[in-house]
A = this chain, B = another copy of it.
Amino acid sequence: MAGKTMPELHLGLEGIYFAESSICKVDGTKGRLYYRGYSIGELAGYSDFEEVSYLLLHGELPTRSQLIAFRRRMRAERTLPNKIIGIIEEESVRSHPMHVLLTAVAALAAYDKEADVASPRANMEKSIRLISKAGSIVAAIGRLRSGKQYVRPDARLGHAENMLYMMNGTRPSSNAARLLDLMMVLHAEHSSNASTFSTIVTGATLSDLYSAVASGIATLKGPLHGGADERALQMLRDIKRPENTERYIDEALQNKRRVMGFGHRVYKTYDPRARIIRKILLDLSLESGEVKNLAQIALRAEKLMIERLGRSKGIWPNVDFFTGPVYVHIGIIPALFTPMFAASRMPGWCAHMLEYWEHSRLIRPLEYYTGQAGRRYVPLGRR
């Protein structure tokens, strides 16, 4: 390596722009998030997951007739082939739910005649299929992993409402359906985070949409990514009672243990999604039982963390911090948190892939070689 200057290393690709996109704007300084130009606050307040999926895929809010047609298409695609139900049944009792989701989505390609058709029309159709069926798969994993019977989707229900129905076998309250729908809107898209980037890296070889989103699912599984909300909830449960919060947090900070759900690669201020969920937690803190307890602990921990680290170090609550208590309230078990995130992010993954394929380019960065050079092979007898 003598005489060779080392190139600049961009570890984690932090700060590197790899593409243009008109899907999502994350303003990490001001703490703002826009899907296709619409603020997450307005979408959370007025829209729902089906409409947001349309918006992400098409770039525009649908007209009334477009929305009716889109909902009809989405709802018609909820059914799962029997073989896929069989795979979920077989795998979900023994495997990580994200492995089951990955297996089921990969296997699903076999039942789509257009799986390997690469036209924009076919890719839009496949996006609708994937968004719709991902909801059914996740609901089925939740149900079948505890040995219960598969529940067929009900096309009269909204997307989130149907997922709760398929999970529990009974129609959810309108409040639970609305809350899950809101959570799915908040998780639907977030520019080129690790799983979306992985989806694009896969699709950029002109691999198909099933393979691309499979890559996204595999990436979302990581505890640094999709797994964070599950671990944040575990922390709230470990704290046990609101009055323990201060001692727990201070001990964690003193021992430099990571407090889950705080800090973000992009947001250097309050995550706007966390701000929306925080309002729900204020309501939940007035309820009873475990949810009340968790909400109160979360709100106390948030206040303490902001005092200790927020303004001084730019470490603020992120979306993962508050989601756990809401999911507990809706009746979603922690093992399903990341699959829920995947089902919610499916429109984002698909929208990015549709966009990237318009001007696709292979993604192939470099590694800087630090190993030995020019070693001579030594025959086995002389080793």
Residues of A participating in the B interface, judged by any CB pair closer than 8 Å: 7-25, 34, 36-39, 42-43, 45-47, 59, 61-64, 67, 83, 87, 90-91, 94-96, 98-100, 102-103, 106-107, 109-111, 115-116, 191-195, 197-198, 201-208, 210-212, 214-215, 217-227, 265-266, 361-381, 383
A376 to B42, CA, bound (A): 8
Contact yes or no, A95 B110, CB < 8 A: yes
Contact yes or no, A214 B18, CB < 8 A: no
Given A219-B201, A370-B20, A375:B193 Cβ within 8 A: no
* A59 to B, closest residue via Cβ: B371
Residues of B close to A211: CB separation below 8 A = 98-99, 102, 217-219, 221-222
Residues of B close to A9: CB separation below 8 A = 17-20
A23 to B370, CA, bound (A): 8
Given A206-B222, A214-B218, A17:B12 Cβ within 8 A: no
Contact yes or no, B205 A21, CB < 8 A: no
The 7 closest A-B pairs by CB, nearest first: A205-B222, A22-B371, A95-B110, A37-B372, A207-B222, A211-B218, A13-B365
- The number of times this chain is found in the oligomer is 2
Residues of B close to A381: CB separation below 8 A = 64
Sample (25) of A-B pairs whose CB atoms are under 8 Å apart: A21-B370, A23-B371, A34-B374, A37-B373, A38-B375, A42-B376, A47-B377, A61-B377, A62-B383, A64-B383, A91-B107, A99-B106, A106-B214, A194-B362, A202-B215, A204-B224, A205-B221, A205-B223, A205-B226, A206-B227, A207-B218, A207-B222, A211-B218, A211-B219, A212-B218
Contact yes or no, B109 A364, CB < 8 A: no
A358 to B195, CA, bound (A): 21
* A223 to B, closest residue via Cβ: B206
Residues of B close to A364: CB separation below 8 A = 12-14, 192-194, 197, 265-266
A207 to B342, CA, bound (A): 14
A12 to B203, CA, bound (A): 12
Contact yes or no, B98 A115, CB < 8 A: no
Known: A22-B370, A215-B215. 15 other contacts (CB 8 A): A21-B370, A94-B111, A99-B106, A100-B110, A102-B211, A106-B214, A192-B367, A194-B201, A194-B364, A197-B364, A202-B219, A205-B222, A207-B218, A211-B218, A218-B218
Residues of B close to A266: CB separation below 8 A = 364
A89 to B344, CA, bound (A): 32
Contact yes or no, B115 A106, CB < 8 A: no
Residues of B close to A107: CB separation below 8 A = 87, 91, 95, 99, 103
Question: Could you tell me the distance in whole angstroms from the C-beta of A318 to the nearest C-beta in chain B?
Answer: 13
A225 to B212, CA, bound (A): 14
A45 to B376, CA, bound (A): 12
A160 to B206, CA, bound (A): 29
Given A115-B96, A204-B194, A61:B378 Cβ within 8 A: yes
Question: Could you tell me the distance in whole angstroms from the C-beta of A44 to the nearest C-beta in chain B?
Answer: 10
Residues of B close to A222: CB separation below 8 A = 202-207, 211
